[in-house]
């Protein structure tokens, strides 16, 4: 009976990445060994790279991720987009220019409006 549970547990661990949250890189970023911008990067991720989010809770703004090649590390949250589900077919890759457009705000005052960048 115990060996049956061990086999089930081993199968669950082997398939864990299937249940993990996915992300896509929307701006090239450093892959760091710790969630700290002052620590030298171990690698880089590029726009469009798919990542597995190992922990959905950011630490100091960084997410712990695993790359498609199996490298673990930390990526700053602003540079990735967390996908709604692993089955999402459109990751919504954004370039730096489209991210800048999203940061503009329109302020309406009476009959005039002003647009400012955030």
Per-domain residue ranges of the chain = 17-90
Tokens at 55, concatenated? 């922990």
User: Which tokens sit at 44?
Assistant: 């880089």
Separation between Cα atoms, residue 69 and residue 39, nearest integer Å: 22
What is the C-alpha to C-alpha distance for residues 102 and 32, in angstroms, rounded to an integer?
27
CA-angle at 11, arms to 9 and 14, nearest 5°: 110
Q: Would you tell me which CATH number, out of the four given (3.30.300.30, 3.30.499.10, 2.30.30.40, 3.40.1160.10), belongs to the domain 17-90?
A: 2.30.30.40
Note down pLDDT in tens along the chain; length 118 residues: 676 655 555 555 554 545 579 999 999 999 999 999 999 999 999 999 999 999 999 999 999 999 999 999 999 999 999 997 644 444 444 444 334 444 444 455 555 545 555 5
Specify the pLDDT at position 78: 96
Phi, psi angles (nearest 5°) of residue 86 = -60, -20
CA 71 to CA 95: how far, in whole Å? 24
């Amino acid at each position: 009976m115990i060996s049956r549970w061990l086999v089930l547990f081993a199968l669950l661990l082997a398939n864990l990445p299937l249940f993990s949250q996915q992300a896509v890189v929307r701006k090239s970023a450093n892959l760091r060994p710790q969630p700290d911008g002052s620590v030298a990067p171990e690698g880089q991720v590029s726009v469009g790279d798919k990542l597995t989010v190992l922990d959905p809770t950011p630490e100091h703004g960084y997410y712990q991720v695993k790359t498609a090649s199996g490298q673990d590390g930390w990526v700053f949250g602003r540079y990735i987009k967390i996908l709604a589900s692993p089955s999402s077919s459109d990751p919504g890759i954004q370039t730096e220019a489209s991210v800048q457009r999203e940061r503009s705000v329109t302020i309406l005052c009476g009959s005039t409006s002003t647009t400012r960048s955030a």
